[in-house]
Amino acid sequence: MLSRQDVVNNFTLNVEKERLKQKLTQEQMAKKLGLSLSGYKKMISGATTKIDLYTALLLHNMTGKWIFELVEEQEDNTEFLMKVRELSPYQKRFLRGILDFELSFSSSHEGNADDYITVFVPNGSAADGMICDSSNWIKVNAASYRKKFGDALYCGIKVTSNQLNPVYNLGDILLICNNTAGEGEIGIFFNKENGRLYVRKATPSRSWILEPINGHGETFLINSLDKDISEKWIHLGYVLAKMRE
């Protein structure tokens, strides 16, 4: 945790950074923050160890940055909140719908909500190379799998066709970990160019080979399986196990 002096120092440094970014004079910046010019100079020179809460609010309104960013305090939710800010209004509405779904379940469920996972159910055939243009979500009790996999168990995908036979069948729920797939593991990959989701066995060579799990479909070559594979691919995770409701 930052000390009081660290908080003040980081805040005042960021005030000046934002002033320079917006090409304002110190007098103009002081006015925007509800300060006199002398008060502004006193603050950024470190002559005071107290920052007015209203000044911090005005800087947030001016820059869109939250207080933890302005004082450079890192905590578990920081990265998530900063990513949310980068979303488009449509994406934020979509995310809000998911949050409302999760909160509604938590508030209405009397047992341990963590025993349940959120399962993505494609509207249509859940097949290799499916177009993910619509879906819904359900909650499924996966307590025994949660006990086995812990926090690695991220979500589920329900198979809604027999097109992945014989590996996965209609009604199977694929339990997904959102880490990078290792050698021989079955990963979930999204192609940003054609909007299709692929279920592929990942095999390393000079490039990663993404092979169909049942011998039907195209094999792809990509350079790496880092968090962001390339401009073309997104790696969503890999299959830990499968279960039935």
> Going from the N-terminus, what domains does the chain have, and what CATH number goes with each?
4-85 (1.10.260.40), 112-243 (2.10.109.10)
Q: How confident is the model at residue 156, as a pLDDT?
A: 94
| Residue 90 clears pLDDT 70, i.e. is over it | yes
140 strand-pairing partners: 117
Q: How confident is the model at residue 95, as a pLDDT?
A: 84
Q: Is 174 exposed, middle or buried (0-12, 13-18, 19+ CB in 10 A)?
A: buried
Q: How confident is the model at residue 80, as a pLDDT?
A: 80
pLDDT tier at 31, thresholds 50, 70, 90: very high
Q: How confident is the model at residue 205, as a pLDDT?
A: 65
Q: Which of 54-63, 172-181, 203-212, 222-231 has the lowest mean pLDDT?
A: 222-231
Q: How confident is the model at residue 225, as a pLDDT?
A: 54
Q: How confident is the model at residue 37, as a pLDDT?
A: 95
- What is the Cα Rg of the chain in Å? 24
Helical packing angle, 37-44 and 4-21, nearest 10°:
120
- Positive/negative CA dihedral, 143, 173, 94, 60: positive
Place of tokens 């005030």: 15
| Residue 232 clears pLDDT 70, i.e. is over it | yes
| Residue 102 clears pLDDT 90, i.e. is over it | no
Burial pattern 121-133, b for ≥16 Cβ within 10 A else e, equals bbeeebbbbbeee
